[in-house]
Structure 1
Amino acid sequence: MEVRLLRAFVTLDDHRTFGATAEVLSITQPALTKQIQALEAQVGGLLFKRGRHGAEPTELGRALLPDAREIVERADALALRARRIADGGTGHLSIGFGMSSIDLAPRHVAEFRRRHPGIGVTLDDMSSSVQVERVRRGELDAGYIRLPAADGLKVLELSSDTLALACPPDRDRRPPVDPTDVGAAMEEYGLVQLTRARGPGLAGQVDAYLAACGLHPDVVQHADDLQTVLALVAAGVGAALVPERVRGIAPAHVSITPIDHPAARWQVGVVWDPDRPPRALTTFLEVVRALARP
């Protein structure tokens, strides 16, 4: 199957309208329709059905989307790696980051770009486990991950993070003043959780904390990204256990209360493969070290 057709497939799922998707792909709507029809002919069934709310994936479409996304992402990573090899590895860096570095990585990259405008940087959001895998394959130059790191990777420890209780706005109720009184809040509100596939590291941290405290909250809804989790909290759907660093992206009226418990804390750092670092990575790490100093 052509990557071009798979890209049209996943982009249409992201935007759900042919007009918006065609604009993103810089093609005409008839051309997009032909690409989707060509892919449907190859797989032997309809991938989307059109309705009042745009293009909705069929059961076949939903089943094929995860594999299609992976192929498109791998193709993009391969193209990026090829460009880096072609230019000697000096003109571009590919950096990964996750929820625990949502404030660190963008700040570091912005300062690096200010100091070294001739070196391009791609910054992509992904889980720590995916970052480690791509660093090992040479598809990422470095990643901001939840520590400890896998064997064989170099590590620069940066800071710590902790779980925090995100509570919905409610004039008649207040979030617990004592961060250890989390169980009562979760019993009152229920728990909104990030899907395990989207954030396996966070899910593992939440599991460890709940087990250490003997808590068994009712999960009222799952979401595929942290901003949706926080939006659901803001809407009063439930409370959530999130990294304290998301305070910067949380709605103003959602309370974020850090949890003071050993099982709620972890370290954050940058990792890279010492066997094949591009020359620009050394310069990037110098900037990171300078910003990380007290």
Structure 2
Amino acid sequence: MEFRQLKYFIAVAEAGNMAAAAKRLHVSQPPITRQMQALEADLGVVLLERSHRGIELTAAGHAFLEDARRILELAGRSGDRSRAAARGDVGELSVAYFGTPIYRSLPLLLRAFLTSTPTATVSLTHMTKDEQVEGLLAGTIHVGFSRFFPRHPGIEIVNIAQEDLYLAVHRSQSGKFGKTCKLADLRAVELTLFPRGGRPSFADEVIGLFKHAGIEPRIARVVEDATAALALTMAGAAPSIVPASVAAIRWPDIAFARIVGTRVKVPISCIFRKEKQPPILARFVEHVRRSAKD
């Protein structure tokens, strides 16, 4: 059975005679007649009966007409879906993240992608940076987000944003720092940093910024993540240093002072395989590169 036979059969059934069907299909009548005979022989049933009124469908013909229409409709949709998949318009994008990019930069990037590609879907998985690299190489994820990824020859790293840093203090201490401060203002301040793992980390970068400014930071503790750091600050423990994406969230009893000065920013990075990119990843990478330029 061929799609051509289904198209011919539907045309004959709807036109009511071979000549009208041939005219509708822009072919001569003999090929249609031969294809209808071949179709009936293949199915082993009579689909069409000739009468003085033209061609009429048998009971088998009526049943087959419904199926033929559904088959051609499904084939058309399948073709459209296949072409859309080849363009990267459909499918699931598997995204991994670690740390604070999940607060702002990643959701904004995903929103732009899903707005332009509404038939795509996204899955989110929390993974350490090392797990993300392993997942990319194994093909279990498409793309990862964090900061300060380890280098690998098969993986590309794109910095999509540079974030300001903020000092987070308990609201009762906000008068000491105002709306902005400098690293030098924090020389004698004990600080809570994060994360504890995933080296090199955000904490390592913050310490490096202090040392580049000729300041030895006073570190009270290094905790698991931003939420733990701010929970301690909220409880009245040492102030925390956080990126802008965290400071943009309303935290009870926490005040934020932007840390000003040269080089006082930290990157947010995206990683993906350099080769063998499925279409949906290639489509997403276009958004990543545009975001990096902006």
TM-score, length basis structure 2:
0.57
Which position in structure 1 is the counterpart of 2:211? 211
The equivalent of 2:117 in structure 1 is 116
Aligned to 2:172: 170
Matches within 5 A, 1:17-56: none
In the TM superposition, what are the counterparts of 1:79-228 in structure 2 within 5 Å?
Answer: 91-99=91-99, 101=101, 102-146=103-147, 150=151, 151-170=153-172, 173-175=175-177, 179-180=181-182, 182-185=183-186, 187-188=188-189, 190-197=190-197, 200-228=200-228
Q: Where does the alignment leave 5 or more consecutive residues of structure 1 unmatched?
A: 1-86
Identity %: 22
For residue 177 of structure 2, give the secondary structure of its aligned residue in structure 1: coil
> In structure 2, what is the Cα distance between the partners aligned to 1:128 and 1:258?
27
Residues 232-272 of structure 1, C-alpha deviations (whole Å, 9 max, x = no match) = 22222111122222112351542333333445333333221
Give the count of matched residue pairs: 206
CA distance in structure 1 between the partners assigned to 2:220 and 2:249 by the alignment: 22
The DSSP-based 3-state class of the residue aligned with 2:275 is coil
Letter aligned with residue 237 of structure 2 = V
Equivalent pair of 1:131/1:145 in contact (CA under 8 Å): no
The secondary structure found in structure 1 opposite 2:248 is helix
Distance 1:104 1:206, change over 3 A: same
SS in structure 2 opposite 1:187? coil
Deviation at 1:213, TM superposition (A): 3.2
Correspondence for 1:246: 246
Residues 171, 269 of structure 1: CA spacing in aligned structure 2 closer, same or farther, 3 A cutoff?
Answer: closer
Q: What SS is found at the alignment partner of 2:276?
A: coil
Could you list the runs of 5+ residues in structure 2 that have no partner in the other structure? 1-84
Secondary structure at the counterpart of residue 230 of structure 2: helix
> Does residue 280 of the first structure (1) align with residue 280 of the second (2)?
yes
In structure 2, give the amino acid aligned to 1:224: E
Could you say if the C-alpha distance between residues 183 and 274 of structure 1 is closer, same or farther in structure 2, counting changes exceeding 3 Å? same
In our comparison, the structure showing a higher alpha carbon Rg is 2
The answer (yes or no) to whether the contact 1:185–1:239 under 8 Å persists in 2 is no
Work out the CA distance in 1 between the residues paired with 2:253 and 2:247.
Answer: 11
Aligned pair in 2 of structure 1 residues 186, 258: CA closer, same or farther (>3 Å)? same
